[in-house]
Amino acid sequence: QRTSFHRPQTLDFKNGYAFSRLPREGVGGETLFANQLSQEELDDLCTKGATLTYGQVKRPAPSRFTPAFVAYDKKVLKFDAYFMEEVAISPEEHYRIRHVGLYYYLEDDSMCIIEPKVKNSGLVQGKLMRRHRVPKNEHRDYYHWKDLNLGIDLTIYGRTYRLVNCDSFTKVFLESQGIEVNPPEEMVSDPYTEQRRTPVQKPIVPAGPDPLRQFLAYDTKVLRFYAIWDDTNCAFGDHHPCIIHYFLADDTVEVREVHKRNDGRDPFPVLMRRQRLPKIFVDKNKNFPSCVLEITDHEVQEWYSPKDFGIGKTVTLLGRTFLIYDCDKFTQDFYREKYGITDFQPLDVNKKPLEKVTQVIPPYNGFGIPEDSLQNCLSLFPKPPRKDIIKMLENNLKVLRYQVALESPVREDKNRRFILSYFLSDDTISIYEPPVKNSGILGGKYLKKTKVTKPGSTPESPIYYEPSDFTIGSTIEVFGHRFVITDADEYVLNYLERNARSYPAATVQSIRDHFLPRKVVVETASSGVPKKDLDDLIVEVQKELKLQAPFNTRQFHETFHHFDKEGSGFLDKTTFLNICDRFNVPTSTILLKKVRWKGCCACG
């Protein structure tokens, strides 16, 4: 019932020196009696008589203790053995004999089994059992060197090993320990290995014509035919170009498929391996499953020969029909010499080009820009249309702004004003309506940034608005809504004047005429008249008007704007006096002279 097998510590260091000491406990912690006499000492006491001694008796020094793992270091018992392995899946062998070497290490009573590796054996060989203490039975007993001998069966983990021989060291060691070693046995050989080593008897060739004559005469001579395999009857079938090789040395046929770049087929060139192909079979029972058996000469009435091949002929090879349309020069010379054939005109097997179907572009559906919608018709995975990067970089942040009015029969829409922005970087237009308080209309973005086509353009060839189309008074139609340009930004005039060569002269002149009255006002305001005198004159005129009876100021302003057709802000003296008389506004001679001297009139 022992469960502990550790050894006591006998090696130690003291003051830097290594020394060995006697163990105080045995294996597994057993008590050792230090004063117990050995058998030799008892024998000495019995044989030797008492002698007269003076003083203390000197005892001899005890023999030096050597541990087992030091005494038996690198000492191994080696046995030659074999075991029988059952083979259940091979019809040629029922069991297999495998030779192994059993090694027993004396230092720690461990064992390992190693099988010598045999080249091309097909077995997993080498170390079959790692080194460790091997259990002998269910009572936790382990194999000891006393259990090993020649001519015995050793069962380890369900496998029985037969010990047949050992080396000289093992034999001497066992005999020194009082074990009688059995005589060695002969190593049993593997029957299948011995069968493979037996030389194969060559078949006896009957007397007759030399079978190697055809091989020696036609070696390396091959007939080459160019053929077409029509596979269009099957799903996803096609015309496969092939090359048929007929080897004259042994009357074998090989078919290779010609692959083209990007043909969509796997790159396997050999369609039919080199073999003899039967042409006509012997009549036999149709129910016999001959398709799963090898074809012998007794089952074939006729094999394919060179006379079965030629330009224009159709041959069926293993169920595939090939049309031969051409051959090489060596094949032509062979048929010309042996069969007298002179016509080798190749057949035309090229496919007729398919008629190109004109792509019909569907009509524009109104979603997005036409260029972007057109990409859905050109590719399965549409790509965004290309942009002019240079134009975008040159005209970045350049925007032409115009004031437009909505042309609508609705009375509420007549006073609505919009800001039309034209982006020069990508020729897009956006419209914004400034919010007006108490107008009842929510302002904000009216049209997001997009390209706008001109009326009458088609989706196939759209024509978009350009800066040359925006003149004062022109009408712009945006998705069914008409806008009239009433004003423009000063940046528009400056841009058109700097790039006058790129735009029509009428467009530049229209913007220039529109800004001419404003320029006159600016020049007049910037003349030599002091601003303080102008302000004093306006105050004085307003005081005179307040002294008069109240009148309709709005109608007074509208009348001034009506006569100022050009929108310059200037009226001549006669027209000014007529308007004042119509509204019964008294005019002072002194003020008229001052107004004339100042040279300007504040309308409204």
Give the CB-side neighbour count of residue 349, counting CA atoms within 13 A: 19
Which residue in the block uniquely carries the two structure tokens 């423009």?
A: 488
Q: CATH for 211-339?
A: 2.30.29.170
Nearest CA to 187 out of 219, 159, 157, 163 is that of 163
Cα–Cα distance for residue pair 168/184, rounded to 1 Å: 12
pLDDT at 604: 36
Q: Decide yes or no: CATH 2.30.29.170 for domain 388-525.
A: yes
Q: For the segment 503-554, what is each residue's pLDDT rounded down to a tens digit?
A: 999 999 988 888 887 666 556 555 555 656 656 666 776 676 666 656 566 6
Q: Which residues of the chain have pLDDT under 70?
A: 33-38, 46-58, 204-209, 211, 284-293, 518-538, 541-542, 544-554, 565-573, 584-604
Residue among 2, 22, 18, 25 nearest 10 (CA) = 22
Per-residue pLDDT of 273-296, as tens digits, reads: 999 999 988 876 666 565 555 777
Tokens matching residue 105: 């290490």
| Residue 91: per-residue pLDDT | 85
Domain 68-194 has CATH 3.40.50.300: no
The CATH 2.30.29.170 domain(s) of the chain lie at: 68-194, 211-339, 388-525
Instruction: Tell whether the torsion through CA atoms of 193, 199, 200 and 201 is positive or negative.
Output: negative
Output the pLDDT for position 195: 86
pLDDT at 603: 37
The confidence score (pLDDT) of residue 224 equals 95
Query: Tokens representing 118?
Result: 């045999």
pLDDT tens per residue across span 144-177: 999 999 999 999 999 999 999 999 999 999 999 9
Alpha-carbon distance of 30 to 108, in angstroms, equals 19
The pLDDT assigned to 165 comes to 95
Asked if residue 419 lies in contact with residue 447, where contact means CB atoms within 8 angstroms, the answer is: no
> What pTM did the predictor assign?
0.38
Nearest to 162 by CA among 195, 121, 113, 196: 113
Bridge-partner residues for 488, per DSSP?
402
